[in-house]
Amino acid sequence: GNKVTVVLGAQWGDEGKGKVVDLLATESDIVCRCQGGNNAGHTVVVDGKEYDFHLFPSGIINPKAISFIGNGVVIHLPGLFEEAEKNEKKGLKDWEKRLIISDRAHIVFDFHQAVDGLQEVQRQAQEGKNIGTTKKGIGPTYSSKAARTGLRICDLLSDFDEFSSRFKNLAQQYKSMFPTLEIDTEGQLKKLKGYAEKIRPMVRDGVYFMYEALHGSPKKILVEGANAALLDIDFGTYPFVTSSNCTVGGVCTGLGVPPQHIGDVYGVVKAYTTRVGIGAFPTEQINEIGDLLQSRGHEWGVTTGRKRRCGWLDLVSLKYVHMINGFTALALTKLDILDVLDEIKIGIAYKLGGKRIPYLPANQEILQKVEVEYETMPGWKTDTTGARKWEDLPPKAQNYIRCVENHLGVPDVFSSLVKWVGVGKSRESMIQLF
């Protein structure tokens, strides 16, 4: 049968997954999303046009590929059509002929989004800090799913009276929890009925769809992870995480694919580290280095517009993420942002009370306390944006990449883990090494 190729974020998001996916999507037959919702933001630049995707798989640009939104994704229908409209203005055509939606995907309602905002306000008031969600209703929808009160695409497309009464019950539950919440139940139901007819032709049983894709004629199937490993609900820096599994296990559960069909798993890593919102960030640089990375790297969120916190590359967390995902290769992006630095540091170990610890602490308070041990290297002080092959990179930059591989335990001198190095915005600026 066919195997799926998976692209996953290996840090706290914003690693440049969109570009790697775009690179692979040009030759894929099917591009899938398996988790998250429109809290994701993937930017893809094609022919000088910048597309921003939130719910759509980035492969939607490829007129030859089918895009699939799997059961693990939570779907805000107004958001889906708004996104379609925005990208149609930029030249996206016939997307509805290329999109397939799993009937088992849960629906994000407007009141989920309102509740997301109210919960953040509550957290801020009670704990003095919020999680920093995108307020897109993702957390509350996954909560409804786990509490078994959620509604799915298949419910919307079945008996609408039954759907309406379940919708009203759920709305009522939220109103009793949040007395200030206003819900225009009838208005929303009317809109939902309209969306139901628009998406009906795109909806399929995702399990059968994926099974046929895996067992039919040879096909290239790509899975685009959203968010990133350190935001994973199980393995991330809890509680400052998202509500889904953004590590490799989410691919199996979010699409209905058995593990033996997972082929290459590509991790996307920025040459430094960024994080949006609050939570532990051991290698963060709150100084001119951090400011330099922030401005040179244009580090603010696609979905939220928030400034990203910046710091050195953290190999302790990267190693941990590699243990979970078993990457077959890595894409190292935005190397060019480091071009101007005199010296570059890589975090290679965590210390607690002066002693090295061989793991990434699960507890948030302990993780806040770790000290990072760094390896310092000389910067290459050369513009790398014109590099198109390995040989074009300055020896000191090659050194930096090899150092990352060594720490991740690449066994011998002849094998490498870094398959791509990104040195700029365009499709061409992804150097492929093997």
39 neighbors 301 (Cβ within 8 angstroms): no
Peptide bond into 378 cis (omega under 30): no
Torsion of CA 29, 97, 111, 300, to 10 degrees: 50
For the chain, helix, strand, coil in percent to 5 are 40, 20, 40
Q: Which two tokens stand for residue 310?
A: 């910046």
Pairwise CA distance, residues 68 & 394, whole Å: 40
For residue 147, with 0-12 CB atoms within 10 Å meaning exposed, 13-18 middle and 19 or more buried, which class applies?
A: exposed
Amino acid at 317: S
Mapping DSSP onto H, E and C, the string for 312-364 reads: CEEHHHHHHHHHHHCCCEEEEECHHHHCCCCEEEEEEEEEECCEEECCCCCCH
Written as one string, the DSSP assignment of 215-277 is HSS---EEEE--S-GGG-TTTSSTTSS-SS--STHHHHHHHT--GGGEEEEEEEEESSEEE-S
321 neighbors 414 (Cβ within 8 angstroms): no
Q: Which residue intervals of 26-159 are DSSP H helices?
A: 77-89, 95-98, 110-127, 138-146, 153-156
Instruction: Region of 22 please: left (phi>0), alpha (psi -120 to 50) or beta.
Output: alpha
User: Which positions are catalytic?
Assistant: 145
Pairwise CA distance, residues 371 & 349, whole Å: 8
Task: Please state the φ and ψ torsions of residue 260, each to the nearest 5 degrees.
Answer: -70, -10
